[in-house]
Structure 1
Amino acid sequence: MNIAVLIPARLSSTRYPKKLLAKVKEKTVIEWTYSGAIESKKAQMCAVLTDSLEIKETIEKINGKAYLVEGDFNSGTDRIAHYIADKDYDVIVNVQGDEPLIEGTTIDALINFFIENKLKMATLAVKCNECANNINDVKVVVDKNSFALYFSRSKIPYNANPYNCYLKHIGVYIYDKSTLLFLHNQEPTPLEQAEKLEQLRALENSIKIGVLTTSKNFIGIDTRKDLELLEQYINSIQPSSF
């Protein structure tokens, strides 16, 4: 089975322009993401797919793989699908470029979850109460078999019991090639457009998404405040952890 870990990395961002090139501890966000993703032991290939020569050169300076994949894409999924259309990957892991705390062990756990459960698509989530009312943190609710029921920037469920814990969605996906290409060839769906969440295209096309809950820490970079939180977190742990 040929598995690729691909990191779509668009330079522009509405909420935080050029966030992937922002630095923490002398490393850009995209370098942190790539450095974690490349530690996967189950993937045969790891690369950044970008529309930016600056991002490409940043990754190449650390001897990483990066490819220019230019075009008007609605999402990172679409950028990856365009790139892999004529390649022989069986399984693709999509790690969004603004997930600097991703680790190879987490990617490998998701790959095992995907293969063992014979899924078409899967993603990650972490338990999180403080994220409930933050629209920058995407929430997911799942059924009793850990399949996603819905994703939203809103608080879902609306009024969880005090002992319940919300699930924060993490920007990492895995699909088989045919599922990825199918999604790429579908028009953006109403809920996808309303929530600005690409994974809803899969649910609206009746594709089940398995959700693996992990205890790992994640800080997705959507705002400058997130960058400050990332730096505080890195300062709080042993340097040898990275």
Structure 2
Amino acid sequence: EGLVESRRRAGVFVKEHPDRVRLTVRARQIERDELGYFSGPEVQHWRALPWPDGERTRVTEAPVPADVAEILGAEAGELLTVRKRMVGDPGREEHRQLADSWIGSWVTEEIPAMRGDTGMGGMYDRVEEWAGRALTWREEVSARMPSPEEAEALLMPAAGVPLLRAVRITTLPGRGRQDARVVEVQDIRMSSALFAVGYPLPRGASAKWPVTPATSDYYSAPPVSEDGDTDESL
């Protein structure tokens, strides 16, 4: 569970482990300032950190992971442009995240700057300038264990602490007869020992206020299937 660590020739030690009260809760919303877009007020002051070779954004072509490929409509293992960054708090060394931006092949064909320096405002500004309309975003949050390279880059304990993973999907809405297209899938990873994700829960159409009084008992009502029908066999 990541509560202890073994140190060679020294013994087994209880690790410092932040409790949940001290987790930094990350809001998931898109904001903007003079530098461009950023994801939530907690990270407005964060900046790109240098990799060991001094680069701040690594741009390369690499085989796209299967889950990312499915979202982009690509083949698993297809070579796509990926922009890799390590972003963090200049005042707190351990507060950092990895962010890999996998870019759809149609985007790099239309906007060659995606393979290099994207200039002021970054890649989102270049896409919106090219398209003449606003991008939209959604995220899928999950968790998994880190690779050794990820744990080292994020200054995580040697074992036992999972990654908090937010997969952000950037979409260019359709216009006229043109369908919406996925521009980018950004794979964001951070330590779950330091961060949590917080977001508001909007009311759906069925829960719009004022609400209709309940008419069934929660403990005796039959379950409802995914298509909304009552199913006594569920």
| TM bracket (short chain) | under 0.3
Q: Which protein is bigger by CA-based radius of gyration?
A: 2
Task: Name the TM-score, length of structure 1 as normaliser.
Answer: 0.26
Task: Name the TM-score, length of structure 2 as normaliser.
Answer: 0.26
Task: Identify the structure with the greater strand proportion.
Answer: 2
Relative contact order (C-alpha < 8 Å, sep 6+): which is higher? 1
Task: Identify the structure with the greater helix proportion.
Answer: 1
